[in-house]
Structure 1
Amino acid sequence: MTTTSERLGLTPSQTVGPYLSIGLTWEDGPYVVPEDTPGSILVTGRVYDGQGQLVTDGLVETWQADPDGRFAHADDPRGAVESQLPGFRGFGRCNTDADGSFRIVTVKPGPLPTPDGDTEAPHLNVSVFARGLLDRVVTRLYFPDEAEANAADPVLNAVDPDRRATLIAEATPDGYHLEIRLQGENETVFFDV
């Protein structure tokens, strides 16, 4: 008797893709806040693989505090607090498109206290899912107009000074832009979480 796998052959194993567009997207994904929210900003970027090629089938997620530096989540050590900003979700998700780019509509988060009394600079937590990855990679986006806060940020200070620039976005007319390089020259700093 011939089994199905003998008849059809084995299915090749998959990493994260191509199922991102089937199971992980939703219509409001790139909107951490509604587009017409006062003070909203556009966070854009592109994702590159280890050969410098654009990743056109990836997914970028962001998670962040609200403008007051609070999370409506049980992991906030000060207690979960609903944001006073109407429509704020704290979470965004966007597929990369044909030119490897992503777009998230959000607001700038506030600074965060650390358990030992320090302060983290305003930042977005960023996860990237892409072909060739068995699990997501996690990084941060820091804001270039927060130089003083960035200089005191304990996480950013733990990064080799020569690589910190990979975490600091560039200002654009309507927000901020971050290039994410998964490997190779100018590889983005990723965190083991």
Structure 2
Amino acid sequence: MSTPSQTVGPFLSIGLPWPDGPTVVPVGTEGAIMITGTVYDGAGAPVPDAMIETWQADPDGRFAHPDSPERTDFRGFGRCPTDTDGAYWILTLPPGALPGQAPHIDVSVFARGLLNRVVTRIYFSSTVDDPVLAGVPADRRHTIIATPVQDGYRFDIRLQGPEETVFFDV
């Protein structure tokens, strides 16, 4: 007998967030950038109970992973629930390039109505040489490129619809 599938939310906010989850680096860290955005559903309404997770290399392209040959103490992992307006924020350092890849931040989105998380990337420029970005149709690339704003970058996530964010099958 198999167990039926169940959607992610709405109770993920009970145990998954932690107080400094959105601050990958402490406030006041030199060179830190703020990434802000809103998660929208297919009708264009904000999603007030989603969870955003980020994973990235440090500015030198290194990870805080035991198997990494050049391990760093940089946490590289952030987690932020959306607020009642669907907004989230992550304070981090700009990621460094990885071998054969442009600087980027990996993003997972958990939200009500999703059977599984969806995964995307944040890129900071459309003029980068990256095989993953190059594999995205040119007319959809803008959905995974952060927009510079006065205090950092903006990266909105659209779960469905004509401007749906590009998600990857991982």
Q: TM-score, normalised by structure 2?
A: 0.93
Question: Could you say which residue in structure 2 is the equivalent of 1:158?
Answer: 135
Residue in structure 1 matching 2:105, options 124, 135, 144: 124
The offset of 1:159, in angstroms, is 0.6
Residue in structure 2 matching 1:81, options 60, 67, 71: 71
Q: Hey, what's the Cα distance between the residues in 2 that align with 1:75 and 1:174?
A: 34
* Count of aligned pairs: 166
The offset of 1:58, in angstroms, is 0.4
Question: Could you say which residue in structure 2 is the equivalent of 1:32?
Answer: 24
Higher helix share: 1
- Seq. identity, %: 64
Q: Hey, what's the Cα distance between the residues in 1 that align with 2:6 and 2:149?
A: 36
Residue in structure 2 matching 1:140, options 121, 130, 133: 121
Q: Hey, what's the Cα distance between the residues in 2 that align with 1:56 and 1:191?
A: 23
> What 5-or-longer segments of structure 2 have no aligned partner?
none
Residues 30-109 of structure 1: matches in 2 within 5 Å? Answer: 30-74=22-66, 76=68, 79=69, 81-83=71-73, 88-109=74-95
Q: Hey, what's the Cα distance between the residues in 2 that align with 1:72 and 1:32?
A: 12
AA matched with 2:102: A
Residue in structure 1 matching 2:152, options 147, 153, 175: 175
Q: Hey, what's the Cα distance between the residues in 2 that align with 1:80 and 1:132?
A: 39
> What 5-or-longer segments of structure 1 have no aligned partner?
1-12, 114-118
Larger Rg: 1
Helix, strand or coil at the partner of 1:155: helix
**Superposition CA RMSD, Å:** 1.4
Helix, strand or coil at the partner of 2:133: helix
Q: Hey, what's the Cα distance between the residues in 1 that align with 2:45 and 2:25?
A: 31
